[in-house]
Structure 1
Amino acid sequence: MKRFVRTSLALGTMLMTGYAVPVFAQAAPPPADEAEHTDRGGIQEIVVVARKTEESLQTVPVAVSAYSGAMLEKQSIVNITQLQTTTPNLNFSSAVAQPGSATVFIRGQGSSDGLIAIDQAVGIYLDGVYSARSTGGAFDMVDVQRVEVLRGPQGTLFGRNTTGGAVNIIANQPSTDGFDAMARFDYGNYDTFLARGMINVPMGDALAARVAYQHREHGSYGRNLSLDRGLGDANSDFVRVSFKLEPPGSRFKAFLSADFTKFSNLGELVGLKSVTLGGPTSPQQLLVGLCNGTAPVPALNALQPFCPAVARGPLQDYVYGQNGNDNIYAVYQNTPAYGKSRTHGASGVLEYEFSDAAVLKSTTAWRGVYMNSLSDNDGTPYLFTGGLAPFAGNVIDQDQFSQEIQLSGTLDRLQYILGGFYFVENGTDRSRSASLFPLSPGIGVVDGTVRNQSLAGFSQLIYEIVDGVRITGGLRYTEDKRRLVSRNRDINYFTNVVTSSIPDFLDGDVSDPFRATFNRTYNYWSYLVSADWQATPDVFFYAKTSRSQRSGGFNTRAVAGGNPPVSFAPEEVTDYEVGAKVDLFDRHVRINLAAFNSDVKNVQRNLIGVAGTRLISGVANAASARIRGLEAELTVIPVDGLTLGANFGLTDPKYKRFINILDNTDWSDAAFPYTPKYTFGVTGDYERDIVNAGTLRLRADYGWRSKQYAAPMQLPAAARVGLTPEQIAAGNQALQDTSKISSYGILNARIAFELAEPDLEFAVYATNITKEKYFTRLLSLENTPFGLTSYTPGDPRTYGVSVTWRY
């Protein structure tokens, strides 16, 4: 209740501040992305910046899904991860032990690890500014003008780390057209509370300011039965302040923005999905035995007092779905977990138009993230892997600076963009974790400091050969310099003896046995060649080929023996795509289609192994692959006020070659992580004006995805000894199935009524109406001596009411 009062007072103060300047109040024009580009009515046109210049969604030769701020509100989308319901071939997950993170997969390209030195395959951009880390990347959609999801490699204009695509979040900018204000309050089950406010204040004809704020929280979705405490809650605050300067008659404009987000929870909700029981002397059963005083080696039973107090009973008793445990949100953990993160940023965009032939634009930005968490990674009362309170936890601290300069313009039939980009980030990755404790007394300390620099030059030319026919060529050169200073070490819990994890021959510093320095430089070219044809005003075709890279880097968890290796090389994707965008029946039917084929070299894969009794994971270049697929988006307006939509995605990936470097086994039949073969969604919107009363709005959407796998999993070399090829294939499939996430579908709905006077909207909403039980992430360890797989469940059914006021 105190938090509710504080938040309400904050919003009230914002809005009362706005009331002090009523002279500016007037009706604001509709956003550009919702404006009609024709007087024929039908489906509204959306303007996107998929090629860093404003273009119609229907005439840009890129597979892109775009959502206006109004569309996001109708779908009750408040977080970036919810976009996967209505976007083909888009999948979100989260990094292990990183609450509030967002790892993105598009067309089979992504990374399930979120360490400071490992880059993602899908770039996240805030007003055109690259956000390098998935930590804290579960961004809230607050006062957003538009979100664009670009599918496929975007390496020419957006740079490296966009081999899968890019997600561009574009906020509403301040406007001098008039005073504007908004307040929204939601309340729902699980004590869900959302308070959102915005004010836009003109300061004369040239300057305007805008402030947006949101507080969002909900109680625990689940419970840790071992410690009798809640899990799966969330509490966040977001604020953004922006200014826009655009003197009338001037060719100059400037946009300045700063934002801050704070997130916290009681820790990740992690349960036990399945177990492969080991033999009596396996590390798995030795740990269970000593914690229950029944270890076959009597000396081990003396370690029982050091086990977590709740570590008792057979391991299989804690598996979800066993012994009557059908509550996916009721789990057993030994650690009093927590999660905290802060993200912040500031940017300045300066633009001067010399003429139509030359527009100079500068984007300067700073961003940073801090995360501190303690997690139970295995979802059991035993400590197979995870934090050991109060000695262990994870800390990631990163800050970045970027500068982009671009010159663009139009010369008769030629459009061009020339630019340069500089990026630098500094960060630390500090964590302490235990494995098989107290069977193994070592506390593994990851202590890495990174500095990553990137310098690039790029150009793109668009030439209209004849009316309606264009060719596009783009080229980008990038130089990456990456540096890791590692101080990894092991601390014996019982003796406090510290040993180095990095041997001297790995660039070690002989004067400091706990420090090793690694440097790598990578150079690569990206390109784009495309042709498009505006066959009629409503029919558009394109074909393109492009190349993009994901940067190489370092494994901050590197240990002695190079298991996995300290560094890994850049991943390269060469893509071929054809597409069509068609409007029919006076823009009452829209069909957007794309088909693609990608060749991938040096595929970066997260591999998991065991060094001694310690769990080791990291990225290695393990394979080459090809990825094929289709995407289709359909929008239909059968009658006035009713809009129906459907989307379909097919992704068919296959490794051409995959040799697991940990034991040199063939993993070519392994699955791609977090890549459902099929995604499908349907939406329905109905809007009806009621004379002298207001407007009724109805919305429902359903998103479904086929089975997927959380990680590539195959038999290790030792388990293949003496087996026939057929037995190995069957064993590989059985092990791969331990990382399977079954198909699932999510149904959401919203009913709203907006009064004609005053401007108030009342709404009721529900998500996951059918109470679908599903997994969003798995940690698969059944090909290791740990022999278990843990899970993070998707959100349960939530519902609530919402009130929105606009001025």
Structure 2
Amino acid sequence: MKARHSLRIAALASAAWGGAVSLPAIAQNETPAFDSGSEIIVTARRREENILDVPVSVTAISSESIARLQANDMSGIQGAVPNVNLVQGRGSTSNSNFFIRGIGQPDALQTFDPAVGTYVDGVYFSRIQGALVNLFDVERVEVLRGPQGTLYGKNTIGGAVNIVSRKPSTTDFKAMGSLTYGSYDTWLANGYVSAPLVQDKLALSIAGVYDKRAGTVTDPLTGRKYNDRDTKAGRAILRATPSDRVELILSGDYTRQRTAPTLGYATAPLTNVLYNSAFQVIGVPVVKPAYPYGKYDYKASTSLAPGQGQRLDHWGLSFTANVELNDAVTLTSITGYRKLRPDYYIDFDATELEVADAFVGVHQKQFSQELQLKYDSGPLSGVFGLYYLNETIRSHQESYDDNYLQLQAAPGLILPLTFTRFIDDHQNVKSYAAFGQMTYDLTRKLSITAGLRYTKERKEYNRSTYTVLAGAQTAPFLFPGSLPAPYNDLDHVDFDAWTPMATLSYKPTRETLLYATVSKGFKSGGFNGRVNGLGDVTQVVDGVTTIIPYFKPETVWSYETGAKGSFLGGRVNLSAAAFYSDYKDFQARVGGGTTGIAGGSFPVVNAGKLRIWGVEFEASVKPMRNLNVAASVGYLNADYKEFNDGRRAPAFSCNPTGNAITCKPPFAPPMTVRLAADYSIPLGSASLTLGGDMRFVDKQWLSVDNRPGLQEDGYTIANAYVQADFAEGKYYLRGAVKNAFKELYKTDGQEFSSVGNIQTVYYGDPRTWTITAGFRF
């Protein structure tokens, strides 16, 4: 396997660098058209700056590069940024699975907070549901690596993805659009128009996307298709500039998705539980073999009926005011309201059996308010901010498990036990923060930055669940009401933290930067959203069985040094960083044993400590006028220094021997590599561009419990395109292919080994092609 990938990388690298295959360049210091000497402006530090002046590991991806990456949503960036994992997650169409430098959210449950923050025009998205944002009207995407807290409204422990929409121009009319057709009957239409309503004072932009594709996965038993796309989304932005010192922006967006279920593939034998008449376990027979259709070939089955698909409605409003109080001080207010409603049917076992199917309906709403006071005068600049978030989440869930339990009523007589679980829960989160960061220029070349954040959060949670077994309903289990005293009224918990940062930066020349930084990250704790019984909140602490009603926060100390520079008039852009992270109290869901008719338990524990270190390198080079070449490499070394599963249950633990070396952190591939190039041929007022890229993502585990089937051995993806531009770029025609070598690769996994031995993986798309016609004025 390693040899195959090494040969593939070598061949593609040789082709890319030799010009036989040319690809869209994307690097930390990228310019959209690679114009010599042009600047890349980012807002990574909440103010517009040249990327060469920002002592932060940030990759900026322009709208042109997003198109060349063939990225319809955030998952299209996977493999393009070193040490960053951005994929569609956890058996849904719109869930995100974001990991940066080995830090992310290993469970999709809504009671876990994202470790990587997603911001759209400054507004934080509280859940990974709905965070796989479509990129139809984006000016750029900024991916910041490392803890973010002293500049951003919501603290994020692993990093941030900052999505910046196009602002409407108050002076010029602009319009662009495209229509795409491709394999699997893909139809993709994008449109954008911006017009001044009052010259120099008021402007409106409207953008929309229609994205529909047939399923890539076929159920051999029924012929039905799954893993499709069906999205309609739009955004309107009203921008007013009543004076040179005031800017007001009102934005509204809406996303609607209606798709079939997202099917994975079973990688372990599925089992059920056989009871005798006294409800004692007498066997765990296999009911379905692993890999039921052999090697994966985009075939999988489900017990979900037609109409049991996935629906998402997600909309939001935001209002941003930027007011220059004087030449040195600017006040910014960002007010956001969002409402999210995903209704998902999920087949966790990914077979025609009903070992574990579920309906998950979530109603989420959030209100956020952020105030920033920005100062910039002489050698001193910085930001002070206040942040408030109020989020409410309600969910109704149903788990269908009719093929999971059986009863041996008499010798030779085995009867199925129909089983359904019903769950209703509610969570409210209130988050308050004060933060600030100041930079002082000690000399024209040497600067020091210091920042501090205080975060306080309160989480309230309650839950009710009951089961219907063989037609008989059990008494409900309440959280916290069914816990023994004194825990039976513990329905809320408070967390707070001080998180500092400090940076020393040095600019040997105007176009180069050296920096070193240290920062602390924090992610609050919470309640286990799978509390079906006492076993889910019970752990063994120092040999004593103890009730642990909630899990504690995570913290990380991150140390980083880096360099970046632009050379030869902007034709060569380089950046590099090395980092070390000391990560404590990692929040992990581990499997419990199969006990009683409710099946296994799902405790969430602060499993231990991680040591994560690595290096990153990005480069873009323009060796000749019409040729652009780019490369990025990330190396990541992530290990547990301690993993305490709280149970010491060898059959069900990620840590069966008690030795942390047997367990590896999930979604932490040791290597990520990208090579890219594009070559343009001028043809009078037209041009022809050949481009593409190669991305390698190394082996990685896809779940906290390191099960053999939940591992990706590493994969290489090659993409290419050819584009003809006409009338000086006003019109274009593009043909493109993704996954040209038909690489079979895993992107995510579901592990519920304590229920039916479920170990399900999800695969990336097969080879696809598209043809696009577009215009831009």
Query: TM-score, normalization: structure 2?
Result: 0.87
The SS at the match of 1:568 is: coil
Q: Is structure 2 residue 559 aligned with structure 1 residue 573?
A: no
What is the CA–CA distance in structure 2 between the aligned matches of 1:615 and 1:286, rounded to whole Å? 11
Picking from 448, 461, 475, the partner of 1:484 is 461
Judged with a 3 Å threshold, the aligned counterparts in structure 2 of structure 1 residues 115 and 327 are, in CA distance, closer, same or farther, namely closer
Q: Quote how far apart the aligned CAs of 1:509 are.
A: 12
- Residues 316-372 of structure 1 show CA distances to partners (whole Å, capped at 9, x for unaligned) of 275353xxxx44311122222411111111100011112122111111011121111
Judged with a 3 Å threshold, the aligned counterparts in structure 2 of structure 1 residues 682 and 44 are, in CA distance, closer, same or farther, namely farther
* Cross-structure match for 2:297: 328
* Cross-structure match for 1:623: 608
* Cross-structure match for 2:518: 545
Q: Is structure 2 residue 713 aligned with structure 1 residue 687?
A: no
Amino acid at match of 2:762: T
* Cross-structure match for 2:427: 450
Q: How does 1:498-577 map to 2 (within 5 A)?
A: 498-500=475-477, 502=479, 504=481, 506=483, 518-564=491-537, 565-577=548-560
Is the contact made by 2:55 and 2:515 (CA closer than 8 Å) also made in structure 1? Answer: yes
Is the contact made by 2:153 and 2:370 (CA closer than 8 Å) also made in structure 1? Answer: no
Judged with a 3 Å threshold, the aligned counterparts in structure 2 of structure 1 residues 764 and 94 are, in CA distance, closer, same or farther, namely closer
Q: Quote how far apart the aligned CAs of 1:768 are.
A: 0.7
Is the contact made by 1:643 and 1:684 (CA closer than 8 Å) also made in structure 2? Answer: yes
What is the CA–CA distance in structure 2 between the aligned matches of 1:170 and 1:33, rounded to whole Å? 16
The SS at the match of 1:381 is: coil
What is the CA–CA distance in structure 2 between the aligned matches of 1:547 and 1:431, rounded to whole Å? 36
- Residues 546-598 of structure 1 show CA distances to partners (whole Å, capped at 9, x for unaligned) of 00101211112112214245411110011000000022333222210000000
What is the CA–CA distance in structure 1 between the aligned matches of 2:477 and 2:759, rounded to whole Å? 30
- Residues 607-632 of structure 1 show CA distances to partners (whole Å, capped at 9, x for unaligned) of 23345342443532111111111111
The SS at the match of 2:531 is: coil
Q: Is structure 2 residue 601 aligned with structure 1 residue 601?
A: no
What is the CA–CA distance in structure 2 between the aligned matches of 1:706 and 1:601, rounded to whole Å? 25
What is the CA–CA distance in structure 2 between the aligned matches of 1:503 and 1:150, rounded to whole Å? 38
The SS at the match of 1:139 is: coil
Q: Quote how far apart the aligned CAs of 1:111 are.
A: 1.1
The SS at the match of 1:71 is: helix
What is the CA–CA distance in structure 1 between the aligned matches of 2:620 and 2:149, rounded to whole Å? 29
Q: Quote how far apart the aligned CAs of 1:226 are.
A: 3.1
Amino acid at match of 2:400: A
What is the CA–CA distance in structure 2 between the aligned matches of 1:449 and 1:503, rounded to whole Å? 12
Judged with a 3 Å threshold, the aligned counterparts in structure 2 of structure 1 residues 604 and 159 are, in CA distance, closer, same or farther, namely farther
What is the CA–CA distance in structure 2 between the aligned matches of 1:450 and 1:43, rounded to whole Å? 51
Q: How does 1:729-740 map to 2 (within 5 A)?
A: 736-740=707-711
Q: Quote how far apart the aligned CAs of 1:601 are.
A: 1.3
Judged with a 3 Å threshold, the aligned counterparts in structure 2 of structure 1 residues 785 and 241 are, in CA distance, closer, same or farther, namely closer
Q: Quote how far apart the aligned CAs of 1:216 are.
A: 0.2
Is the contact made by 1:486 and 1:517 (CA closer than 8 Å) also made in structure 2? Answer: no
Q: Quote how far apart the aligned CAs of 1:451 are.
A: 0.6
Is the contact made by 1:558 and 1:566 (CA closer than 8 Å) also made in structure 2? Answer: no
- Residues 699-732 of structure 1 show CA distances to partners (whole Å, capped at 9, x for unaligned) of 201111111001233xxxxxxxxxxxxxxxxxxx
* Cross-structure match for 1:208: 203
Q: Which runs of 4+ in 1 moved over 6 A?
A: 296-300, 507-510
Identity across the alignment (%): 29
Picking from 700, 720, 724, the partner of 2:692 is 700
What is the CA–CA distance in structure 1 between the aligned matches of 2:265 and 2:223, rounded to whole Å? 14
Is the contact made by 2:368 and 2:388 (CA closer than 8 Å) also made in structure 1? Answer: yes
Amino acid at match of 1:543: A
What is the CA–CA distance in structure 2 between the aligned matches of 1:804 and 1:581, rounded to whole Å? 35
Is the contact made by 2:535 and 2:601 (CA closer than 8 Å) also made in structure 1? Answer: no
What is the CA–CA distance in structure 2 between the aligned matches of 1:250 and 1:788, rounded to whole Å? 60
What is the CA–CA distance in structure 2 between the aligned matches of 1:459 and 1:418, rounded to whole Å? 4
Report which stretch shifted further, 576-585 or 749-758: 749-758
Is the contact made by 2:32 and 2:64 (CA closer than 8 Å) also made in structure 1? Answer: no
* Cross-structure match for 2:109: 115
Q: Quote how far apart the aligned CAs of 1:175 are.
A: 0.4
Q: Quote how far apart the aligned CAs of 1:170 are.
A: 0.2
Picking from 102, 105, 117, the partner of 2:99 is 105
Judged with a 3 Å threshold, the aligned counterparts in structure 2 of structure 1 residues 509 and 374 are, in CA distance, closer, same or farther, namely farther
Amino acid at match of 1:572: T
What is the CA–CA distance in structure 1 between the aligned matches of 2:516 and 2:264, rounded to whole Å? 44
* Cross-structure match for 2:617: 632
What is the CA–CA distance in structure 2 between the aligned matches of 1:35 and 1:769, rounded to whole Å? 25
* Cross-structure match for 1:180: 174
* Cross-structure match for 1:614: 599
Q: Quote how far apart the aligned CAs of 1:97 are.
A: 4.5
Is the contact made by 2:117 and 2:160 (CA closer than 8 Å) also made in structure 1? Answer: yes
* Cross-structure match for 1:798: 768
* Cross-structure match for 2:364: 398
Q: Quote how far apart the aligned CAs of 1:786 are.
A: 2.6
Judged with a 3 Å threshold, the aligned counterparts in structure 2 of structure 1 residues 35 and 265 are, in CA distance, closer, same or farther, namely closer
The SS at the match of 2:65 is: helix
Picking from 189, 193, 214, the partner of 2:183 is 189
* Cross-structure match for 1:46: 40
What is the CA–CA distance in structure 2 between the aligned matches of 1:207 and 1:785, rounded to whole Å? 58
Q: Show structure 1 runs of 5+ residues with no match.
A: 1-31, 278-283, 288-295, 301-311, 388-392, 714-734
Q: Quote how far apart the aligned CAs of 1:159 are.
A: 4.9
Report which stretch shifted further, 366-375 or 492-501: 492-501
Q: Quote how far apart the aligned CAs of 1:383 are.
A: 2.3
Picking from 407, 412, 420, the partner of 2:386 is 420
What is the CA–CA distance in structure 2 between the aligned matches of 1:795 and 1:454, rounded to whole Å? 38
Q: Is structure 2 residue 69 aligned with structure 1 residue 79?
A: no
* Cross-structure match for 1:23: none
What is the CA–CA distance in structure 1 between the aligned matches of 2:363 and 2:489, rounded to whole Å? 20
What is the CA–CA distance in structure 1 between the aligned matches of 2:41 and 2:513, rounded to whole Å? 16
Amino acid at match of 1:378: D
* Cross-structure match for 1:16: none
- Residues 32-72 of structure 1 show CA distances to partners (whole Å, capped at 9, x for unaligned) of 99699xxx953642111111111111220000110111111
Is the contact made by 2:724 and 2:734 (CA closer than 8 Å) also made in structure 1? Answer: yes
* Cross-structure match for 2:333: 362
Q: Is structure 2 residue 712 aligned with structure 1 residue 741?
A: yes
The SS at the match of 1:70 is: helix
Judged with a 3 Å threshold, the aligned counterparts in structure 2 of structure 1 residues 180 and 575 are, in CA distance, closer, same or farther, namely same
Q: Quote how far apart the aligned CAs of 1:437 are.
A: 3.1
The SS at the match of 2:52 is: helix
* Cross-structure match for 1:644: 629
What is the CA–CA distance in structure 2 between the aligned matches of 1:743 and 1:758, rounded to whole Å? 38
What is the CA–CA distance in structure 2 between the aligned matches of 1:566 and 1:446, rounded to whole Å? 18
* Cross-structure match for 1:281: none
Is the contact made by 1:696 and 1:753 (CA closer than 8 Å) also made in structure 2? Answer: yes
Is the contact made by 1:98 and 1:371 (CA closer than 8 Å) also made in structure 2? Answer: no
Q: How does 1:575-590 map to 2 (within 5 A)?
A: 575-590=558-573
Amino acid at match of 2:303: N
What is the CA–CA distance in structure 1 between the aligned matches of 2:755 and 2:343, rounded to whole Å? 29
Q: Quote how far apart the aligned CAs of 1:313 are.
A: 9.8
Is the contact made by 1:35 and 1:45 (CA closer than 8 Å) also made in structure 2? Answer: no
What is the CA–CA distance in structure 1 between the aligned matches of 2:569 and 2:480, rounded to whole Å? 70
Is the contact made by 1:491 and 1:498 (CA closer than 8 Å) also made in structure 2? Answer: no
- Residues 351-401 of structure 1 show CA distances to partners (whole Å, capped at 9, x for unaligned) of 1112122111111011121111111111122222223xxxxx111110000
Picking from 245, 259, 267, the partner of 2:261 is 267
Aligned length: 710
What is the CA–CA distance in structure 2 between the aligned matches of 1:298 and 1:560, rounded to whole Å? 23
What is the CA–CA distance in structure 2 between the aligned matches of 1:757 and 1:91, rounded to whole Å? 37
Judged with a 3 Å threshold, the aligned counterparts in structure 2 of structure 1 residues 569 and 558 are, in CA distance, closer, same or farther, namely same
Amino acid at match of 1:341: L
Judged with a 3 Å threshold, the aligned counterparts in structure 2 of structure 1 residues 798 and 350 are, in CA distance, closer, same or farther, namely same
Judged with a 3 Å threshold, the aligned counterparts in structure 2 of structure 1 residues 426 and 639 are, in CA distance, closer, same or farther, namely same
Judged with a 3 Å threshold, the aligned counterparts in structure 2 of structure 1 residues 103 and 161 are, in CA distance, closer, same or farther, namely farther
What is the CA–CA distance in structure 2 between the aligned matches of 1:428 and 1:228, rounded to whole Å? 35
Is the contact made by 1:420 and 1:457 (CA closer than 8 Å) also made in structure 2? Answer: yes
CA RMSD of aligned residues (A): 2.5
